[in-house]
Amino acid sequence: MGGAGGERISRLKGRVEIIRSDYGGEQTLAGKSPFVVVANRLPVDEVTDDTPAARMSGGRRWRPSPGGLVTALHPVLVEHKGTWIGWSGTAGDAPEPFEMDGITLVPMALSDDEVERYYEGQSNATIWPLYHDAVEPPVFRRRWRDAYREVNRRYAEAAAEVAAYRATVWVQDYQLQLVPAMLRELRPDLRIGFFLHIPFPPIELFMQLPQRTEVLRGLLGADLVGFQQRLAAQNFLRLARHLLGTPYSGSTLEYEGRKVKAEAFPISIDVAEMQRLADNPLVRERAAQIRAELGDPKTVILGVDRLDYTKGIEHRLKAFRELLGEGRLSVPEAVMVQVATPSRERVEHYQALRVKVEREVGRINGDFGRVGVPAVHYLHQSYSRSELAALYCAADVMMVTPLRDGMNLVAKEYVAARAEHGGALVLSEFAGAAGELRQAFLCNPHDLDGVKDALIRAVNVDPAEARRRMGIMQRHLRRHDVAAWASDFLRSLGDLDDH
């Protein structure tokens, strides 16, 4: 291969020989990690500290970022003196590696161009919409693909350098789909897992991707490829057969003399943590305050989403507007609170969505609100875990209506927060969570009448029936929390035959 592609491969092959020479023996090398997590982001956020002491020291301060993945993997990382590789979230030079809460953190550098092309471009304007059923048309640009390849290469090299001999490396999500194959080329001794947190599309959609063979081969570098749903794993196996002629049996395929397994591992939440938050007297007090601030309505309907076109925010607003227009719901007896967390605000699709959502909110409030009593309380802000828990406790009905979602953890958080208080969950059939939370009021978000009927059933459900449904879902979540998810994946990865 000539040109830039050939130069990249030559450089990578040279890197292979350098790294392999360091890992020729069977011993675990001092200072290397037997367990490595590779993710787009580090599990910490930088804290702005503008005090004179901080300026004089030139130091940077960090705090753990909330998230189920961090919670689930923290004990494993601490036990095995593990390492987490990821981007700090700020463009420019990367900070030096540091330790926090017993984990070694290795920051990766991304330039402004790479943030634009690898992250906002290829990851979030090409792969994200394509994998979410092309709800919005994906954009394909060659320079984005080049940046994606280059950043994935650097992540693979970083993992190769910190991993001990025969270590376990767990690569996370759609931003890093080329890493498994690149890492295997560098370090064939490693056991490599990959987990995709978003949906994996059917063949006919995936085939649109100009980088399709490279991405598929990248994923096949892993020993175990994990998905949220069984159908996604089947899509992957069928794609490998269609695109590469790779045979498979059950959940296992043969690729380049190795066995690669593709299975479903539905991710979950830290159920105990959410229940502790919901039981906190201060949170309960805040929930009562929220209801009072809303005018003590009979029914509080809540939506909590990232402002993303896959989440179906417009659809639920339209359903609410039509129910108000038909008189099946009325203000102030019923109010909606829609939290739309800012997301990817430099990506064009997201800018357009914000305009549409805010226009629909304005229309509803103009038609059905009163002075001081809006029909929809729209909040384009981020909230703390405790404030979200208070909102969950305050809401009689939770609406989770994505057009496509790998899992949707908000649905699970609402269920976990409700304790014995009942409540009702309206849930899209196209969220991965619908496969587990069968006692929710399921709906097709594309069917506006179906969404309206599900919402009315949830609003009018008998309290005893609501508690029964919620109790069944809570028992399921307690048995299948995020720690069980991580344990199941790592056990399956560890049980695979040696390669």
Q: Active-site residue numbers?
A: 197, 405
- How many other C-beta atoms can be found within 10 angstroms of the C-beta atom of residue 492? 17
Q: From the CB of residue 90, how many other CB atoms can be counted at a distance below 10 Å? A: 14
Short-list 313, 427, 315, 424, CA closest to 378:
313
Contact criterion met (CB below 8 Å) for 42 and 107: yes
Please say whether the dihedral angle defined by the alpha carbons of residues 411, 312, 225 and 147, taken in this order, is positive or negative.
negative
- Round to whole Å and give the CA distance between 275 and 248: 42
How far apart, in Å, are the Cα atoms of 306 and each of 34, 214, 373, 398, 400?
Answer: 35, 30, 25, 15, 11
Tell me if 179 sits within 8 A of 171, measured CB to CB: yes
Q: How many CB atoms lie within 10 A of CB 86?
A: 22
Alpha-carbon span 82 to 32, nearest angstrom: 9
Sign of torsion, CA 291 295 300 302?
A: negative
Strands 334-341 and 103-108: unpaired
Burial of 225-262, coded b for 16+ CB within 10 Å and e otherwise, reads bbbbbeebbbbbbebbeebeebebeebbbebeebebbb
Cβ count near 154 (within 10 Å)? 16
> In this structure, what DSSP letter does residue 430 have?
T
Query: φ and ψ at 100, to 5 degrees?
Result: -150, 130
Phi, psi torsion values for 344, nearest 5 degrees: 45, 50
How far apart are the C-alpha atoms of 274 and 393, rounded to whole Å? 11
Neighbours of 345 (CB within 10 A): 10
CB 376 within 8 A of CB 336: yes
Is the distance from CB of 121 to CB of 144 less than 8 angstroms? yes
Which of 142, 182, 139 shows the shortest CA–CA distance to 3?
A: 142
